[in-house]
Each structure stands twice: as structure tokens, then as C-alpha cells.
Copies of this chain bind each other. A is one copy, B any other.
């Protein structure tokens, strides 16, 4: 249970601040995360890792010589925004290209992809390193659909060593891809974790049972089994991973990872058993790690990661590094880099003042965002519960945080005389920034594109409002790549938009029809299917609840209809 909290929304930021204070010899803050506080030579490929918070030491605990150049730190279990990733990558850039590594989750793919596009547009070599180690999250035939869990650690360690050794952009990418290909993980959970400010755990596992293949955000497992002895648990994990033993491979780096509440004394017992089982299988254990590497707040559970190494991967694995949470060998001490970083410019800024009519519309939009935030606050638990069935349960909190931040940003811009487009662009940025996750990115895009269609000059007419909704729908589909039938908010958004454009009558009539079509679309999402990164575990069928993103969309539409 997560208990030491001031204000739940501030939990990730306050935690990061304390981390920096306790690790000043390694890191310093920058908008969106941290970078090394030690000097890094020009001409080194920058490697930055990121994702939601709540997984310490992943990712900030790995920033330091020989390991990461920086870390992007989102909200709890929520992707950072594209602007945050851009900011950290810019701060880490030393002129030889930047790489951002993360586990394969839809939100991270979306946000970090946006940051990469922005850097490339500036002429910087930039790319992603996507970890796909979790064998429980997808079949062997669709490796690219697997999510990333504790395999983040060895793959990032190895890629970082290649970058530290002076390898160039393409070579670091090659080494990472090789390490990711060679890395597999498998985990079990014994009990859930509690999000800061939540009343109860994200999920529970019955006493004496274990959830097999459970994700690090509380995603459901493949199966439930009786919790056996430590040796039996070790055997379950080793057997699972040996099913994917590469042809001819017989050297591994093995890592037993504790998810939070499962303690070192227990992990060591499993590590000893894993060691014996691997040796019995004729495998050379080149290194054995046992500890907390990628956690999930105070979740009870463990995972095993195997990286099948050759001389090259082992050399990078064994290379010296020195970070808050992990070190190897002796690194050469370097001078400090005390430059204070201010990358707030990574945020979208507002430069244009709106017409009087557009200012009035912006003011109304800001008020509506406040109403939406109040509605989403009241539905937070319900949306979280829906999301916890197939996802990580953060949808309610994310929508509340995002909409509240958007309303606040909008009010500030209205006070400064911004028009509707600018106001909604800033609101969208704030939503994306605070909400994180896939839905944060999509709602950011909805607000931004909706506003852009209406501009900063004209008062929005009924026709223009309909066109703006269509523009928002297009942005969502362009960005997220989802089609009707994929069981996402698109399943509600497309019929809603269609009804809005085809229904005869005044705006209210059109909107009523649109809401009804949206509701029907949302209810069609109950038979969830696998999505990249938040993959339906193998063998699990429909879970019988609708997609929370589609439900949220309908609820927002209901607020807007009420204001007509």
C-alpha cells in the first residue's frame, strides 16, 4: 500500500525532487526528468530512458556514467508527454544523435514518437529503442506486440555501454536490437499495488495463489496457479523462458527482479534455485543479479529475465557504470556539469492574441473544460475500475489530472487575452503533459486540432463547430492509427462524428444524435482485443467491459451537449 503522500497529483514530481536531492552527485533536474550531473564529452551518442513513474529504479535510478544520459519521468504508470521527452533528449544531446529507450506501451510509443519527430525536424539524429521482453504478453509470432518489463534493465545497460564506448548512432541501435532480441522475461505476482491517493489496490491475488504473466502496471495475468515453494516458482519461470531458448545459445546473464513487496531475502532464494536449474540445463550463468530493478510500487511479485549473451553482449554488460541504483567496476571520476538547465521552452508557448469574439469563445471553452474536469473527477473511480480489468487502472486518474490541468491552463491563457485556438492548444498540451498515457496524448490532440480548426479570429459558428469535431477525429486516427473495430475510443468517436455531420436539424438535434451514436459505439467495445503494449495476455478471452477511453469520450460529449 502506498501511504506516504502529500497531494496525489504531486506525488511523481515530489518524488523526483527528493530523488534528485539524494543523488546530486549523479543527476540534476531538467523539465521532464533528469540528466547526468557529471560532464559528458561531446560526440557521444545520448541514450535516454523513460516511461511512467512507479518503477524505481527504472528509469531515473540508471542515470550516470556508463549508463543513461538522462531519464524522462512521467506520472505514475503513465507515459511522459512528447514535450517532456523532447526536453530531456535536447538536454542530453552531445551532437552525435539521441536515442530514447522504453518498454513497448502504446502511450510511450505515441509520446516518444512525437518527440523523435520534433528532433528530426531540427536535424538531430533521433530514434527509439523499444523493449519487448515479456513472453506472457504476446506470441512468438508477433514479438513486436510484446510489452517491455524488467528486460529494460539489461538491454539498456548493454546499449548504454556501447554508447559510452564511443560507438556511433547506428552501432548503438544495432547493439540494442541484438540485446533486445536476446532478452526474455517472465513474471508472477502475489498481490497488487496501490496508486497514490487510491483507496485500494489495483488488483488482488487470492491468498496462496499467484497470477502468472502479470504486467508491471497491474495488467491481468495469463493464468492463476497455486503459489508453490520458492523452488517451484523458480522452475515455473525458468521453464517458461527456456521454451524460447535460442538455437545453440548456452550463456546467459540471469536477473531475478523483485516488484516491490517481495524482499531481497526471498529473491536470493529464488536466485539460487534459478542458478541451479540453469546449470542443470547445461547453461553457463555468466552473471546473476538479484534485487529490485523494475518495480511496480509495492506490488508483491517477481520476474526472471534471461539475456542470452555472446562475447560482445557480455563485454558491454560487464562494462563499468556508476548510477544511483546500479554500478559495476570502477568508473573514472569526471568533473561535474553544474549548468542549470531550463528547457521550459520545450512546452508549446502562446504568442498570438485572439479577436474579441474568439476570446469570448475561449472563455466559454475554458469554463466547459472546468465542467468536464468536475465530471471526470466524479467518474474517476468508475473509469479506473473499467481500466483495471484489461489495463493498468490509471485511466480515471489520468483523465481527471489531464482535464483539470487543461482547464487551469485555459483559464490562464484566457486571462492573457488568447483566442480559442491558442487557448485550446495550451490546454491540449497541459492535458497531455499531466495525464500521460495514450489517452493523454489523444486528448491533447483532440483539443489542439479542434481549436486549430476554429482559429483565433472568428466566432465559432455551428457549421464550424461540426467541422472542428471532424478535424479532431482525423487527428486522433492519424496519431493513434486505430480503426473502428479496434475497440478504442475511435469506436465511439467515428459514429459520433458521422451522426453529427449527417443528421438534419439544429446543432442540438445533431449533437443529440451524435451522443446516441457515440454511446452505441462505446458499448460495442466490450469485447476488447489485444493492443500493442497493453496486450491482452495469451489465451485470455473477452473481459466483458467496455473500453474506458470510449466511455470517457461519451461522457465528455454529454457535458458538451448539456451546455448547448
Contact = CB atoms under 8 A, between A and B. Distances in A.
Interface in A242-295: 256, 260-273, 275, 288-291, 295
A6 interface: yes
A53 interface: yes
A3 interface: yes
Interface in A313-335: 322, 327, 329-333
Interface stretch (A148-156, A227-235, A376-384): A227-235
Contact of A4 (B14, B230, B298, B333): B230
Contacts of A289: 22
A267 B11 CA distance: 11
- Interface SS of A by simple majority: mixed
B230 A263 contact: no
A306 to B, nearest CB: 14
Nearest to A275: B21
B268 A18 contact: yes
Given A3-B227, A327-B327, A269 B333 contact: no
Nearest to A208: B3
A66 to B, nearest CB: 12
Contacts of A260: 261, 263
A17 interface: yes
B262 A3 contact: yes
A221 to B, nearest CB: 16
Given A15-B268, A272-B18, A263 B330 contact: no
Contacts of A331: 330
A379 to B, nearest CB: 25
18 contacts: A2-B266, A4-B266, A4-B267, A5-B230, A12-B265, A15-B265, A15-B269, A16-B268, A18-B267, A18-B272, A19-B271, A22-B289, A22-B291, A56-B263, A56-B265, A57-B264, A327-B327, A330-B331
Interface of A: 1-6, 11-12, 14-19, 21-22, 53-54, 56-57, 61, 76, 190-191, 196, 227, 229-231, 233, 256, 260-273, 275, 288-291, 295, 297-298, 300, 302, 322, 327, 329-333
Given A4-B270, A22-B291, A61-B264, 15 more contacts: A1-B191, A2-B266, A3-B190, A4-B230, A4-B262, A5-B229, A14-B230, A15-B266, A18-B269, A18-B270, A21-B272, A56-B264, A260-B261, A265-B297, A298-B300
